Structure 1
């Protein structure tokens, strides 16, 4: 059992390590709705945030309290009122909001203070700092409706938050703001989290929500054939949002998507929608390649580019398992270092997930595409096609008429993409001299 555990844990931990390095010293703003706390998820989320902070991430946690305020209002025999999707905060609702915020702040601080042995919090020391970091202004009167004590963010105390983060503290922000005259305003968690992320120039804004993410076809219910769209370019997110009816209901996709789009437009590189119903959703979204929810990005994070000498170690690590099982011909480090400029790679967050090399034979107006490799973690995501398109582009720029491959295992993949089987005698003379007749690789050619 121990051996099996080692074989599963060690490769997993190694796959996570690049993300630990990348996110160290970065700033994440986490939007935690009151619904997640009401569903009993606070302690597990606090454990995960403590682990993420322990790995060097600076965290600002903005909590909501929508159901808790409604509960306080019901206890007072008072019904909540809304207009334009915003709570009308009268004096009773303001008292209820203050009571709910005080209770939740106590519960959140308690969750980060637990240090029980044999739990993920054992040995952790999470200092939580909260304060009057938000200056607010009133919503005012809209279409004849007086929103009273409901407000909007006017200014974020970036210097104050940053000083707290520099002290290695977790910053906790309630959806309250104060005017310069000391008047309190009830704000929405989503607007506060988005405004804070933009003001801090945060690296991530993450909403841990009731919504599982953006469906690849949002007009149909979720199913195994209609999974979550794990990465959505900002331009596509804008188009999708424009087709959706305006929503202020936290159970609707558009509710969180509008804030994610606003954050990315404001300079936040990545904004996420993940489900609080899934245990460990934060860890899965941050430290696993495809995540579990939807990430909206200003541009595709996956970059296809030509390799440099600095990429050699990553290429070797990628192709080694395929050399061991005989899928690829073994290449030593010296050869790859010498030919680094021949390689094209697919890189995601600083990690190489695919590669292919181009070896031209100008005298025959053709080139070999060699070492085409895609990590098992991203197979089926189109990385192979991206590499093929880039290799074809490079071959065309060289004025070549075709590309060819030698393979023993992946013939059908190439046949589906327009390659034709030919006899090994077709190979350019220089390549034919290096052909391994014992390996009996099949030769496939594609005209450009």
Structure 2
């Protein structure tokens, strides 16, 4: 038998690992938002190829593009004076001509890229149908603080039925930052307004935003891998970048009004979009909708609540007994799920850095709250912590919950696969089974 080289093996492994994500995204509605800067970037053709791939995998796609730099270019060519008030463009009749020219040309360019099907290119055989139209109904901003914004408008409503019809036909819907009024007028709209209102009207499963950076960047300049909408609000303090604020507000508005997941990825990266959707670690920032139940690291004030939660499981012998003193010492290892400040679930992570591994322990969920996805949320939070500590695997010892851990991606293993430090502490009387998961 011919030997398979490492590249082929890595590809097969990646493809297998991607399969659950492919199944999860099939049939879902995703709104992608990108500015005119992204279209100008040399990597945009690769993004289009990846968009085509997503469509071939059964994802329903709506593309909302901006055109700010293209509009500026048209205005310079026509010697039209730029008029900005309160960070909003005043669109007079001359400016509106430049807006129509820029957005129309840009939309045609995107349609052409989506239609491209050269042999030996990623788009070969894709047969993508693109749909555009008067799906965005607009209204004028009007006069504010004595300033008439003329043909600058905002979204009045989105024709969700019309867009869903096109998506059901298998088309990719492309929306430009312009809208139409019932009186036949055309209005210049903000990209972020169109994208947000579209995601909400369609009840989209995801909003994906493209930015120059790798994703959302925190105050220290580091990439935020995942966070809540609540965390995004803290980033609004940066008053220096209006465009960045618009992007953040689009994410916040979407997350607070029903969009379960928002993603922020770089338009400069060749693989960011696919990595974000089809790998565990992603490439940018994942923003999850805030839940009434909060996942957080435990504090000393949570000791009593954790003891109360785990006591029945200790009595049954499902969990190893922990004293209050021990729990107080180890409290920073615990992650808890709270509802109105009451602890309804908990789990702990004990790292073994010399082995690049971590132990999941003391997993407990209140009986009244075991029907949701709370266990999965705890596991996701612990995996993020493990990743931050450069751990490559997690293990758990359990006597009764092995089936549940297998559902979470753990594989039954042997005691010999445990870190040396844990082997020495193994309790042979409990006969716990060992489950390991690589992350």
Relative to the length of structure 2, the TM-score reads 0.69
1:162 aligned partner: 164
User: Is this contact kept in 1: 2:177–2:188, CA < 8 A?
Assistant: yes
Alignment of 1:200-349 (within 5 A): 200-215=202-217, 218-221=218-221, 226=222, 228-241=223-236, 243-245=237-239, 247-248=241-242, 250=243, 252=244, 254-299=245-290
The structure 1 residue matched to 2:419, chosen from 405, 410, 413, is 410
Where structure 1 has 5 or more consecutive residues not aligned to the other structure, the ranges are 305-343, 347-353, 360-372, 395-404, 416-420, 436-440, 442-448
User: Is this contact kept in 2: 1:60–1:172, CA < 8 A?
Assistant: yes
Q: 1:23 to 1:383 in 2, by over 3 A?
A: farther
Map Cα deviations across residues 206-245 of structure 1 (whole Å, 9 max, x no partner).
Answer: 1112233222xx3333xxxx3x11111122223443x443
1:23 aligned partner: 25
The CA distance in 2 between the partners of 1:148 and 1:131, in whole Å, is 23
User: Is this contact kept in 2: 1:211–1:273, CA < 8 A?
Assistant: no
2:118 aligned partner: 116
Q: CA deviation at 1:280?
A: 2.3
User: Is this contact kept in 1: 2:132–2:175, CA < 8 A?
Assistant: yes
User: Is this contact kept in 2: 1:24–1:55, CA < 8 A?
Assistant: yes
Map Cα deviations across residues 265-319 of structure 1 (whole Å, 9 max, x no partner).
Answer: 1101111211111112211111111211112111489999xxxxxxxxxxxxxxx
Alignment of 1:30-41 (within 5 A): 30-41=32-43
Q: 1:406 to 1:51 in 2, by over 3 A?
A: closer
Q: 1:168 to 1:137 in 2, by over 3 A?
A: same
Q: 1:387 to 1:279 in 2, by over 3 A?
A: closer
Structure showing greater radius of gyration is: 1
- Count residues in correspondence: 343
Q: CA deviation at 1:3?
A: 2.1
1:173 aligned partner: 175
The CA distance in 2 between the partners of 1:44 and 1:213, in whole Å, is 18
1:380 aligned partner: 387
Q: CA deviation at 1:108?
A: 0.8
SS in structure 2 opposite 1:277? coil
Where structure 2 has 5 or more consecutive residues not aligned to the other structure, the ranges are 297-346, 350-357, 364-378, 402-413, 435-439
User: Is this contact kept in 1: 2:359–2:396, CA < 8 A?
Assistant: no
The CA distance in 2 between the partners of 1:390 and 1:108, in whole Å, is 53
SS in structure 1 opposite 2:151? coil
The CA distance in 2 between the partners of 1:232 and 1:273, in whole Å, is 11
User: Is this contact kept in 1: 2:348–2:362, CA < 8 A?
Assistant: no
User: Is this contact kept in 2: 1:42–1:111, CA < 8 A?
Assistant: no
SS in structure 1 opposite 2:17? helix
Q: 1:262 to 1:376 in 2, by over 3 A?
A: closer
The CA distance in 1 between the partners of 2:274 and 2:113, in whole Å, is 18
The CA distance in 2 between the partners of 1:409 and 1:176, in whole Å, is 59
The structure 2 residue matched to 1:91, chosen from 93, 96, 107, is 93
User: Is this contact kept in 2: 1:158–1:199, CA < 8 A?
Assistant: yes
Q: CA deviation at 1:78?
A: 1.4
2:355 aligned partner: none
The CA distance in 1 between the partners of 2:28 and 2:122, in whole Å, is 22
Q: CA deviation at 1:6?
A: 2.3
The structure 1 residue matched to 2:135, chosen from 100, 123, 133, is 133
Q: 1:118 to 1:411 in 2, by over 3 A?
A: same
Q: CA deviation at 1:410?
A: 2.0
The CA distance in 1 between the partners of 2:285 and 2:228, in whole Å, is 10
Relative to the length of structure 1, the TM-score reads 0.68
The CA distance in 2 between the partners of 1:293 and 1:109, in whole Å, is 26
The CA distance in 2 between the partners of 1:2 and 1:119, in whole Å, is 25
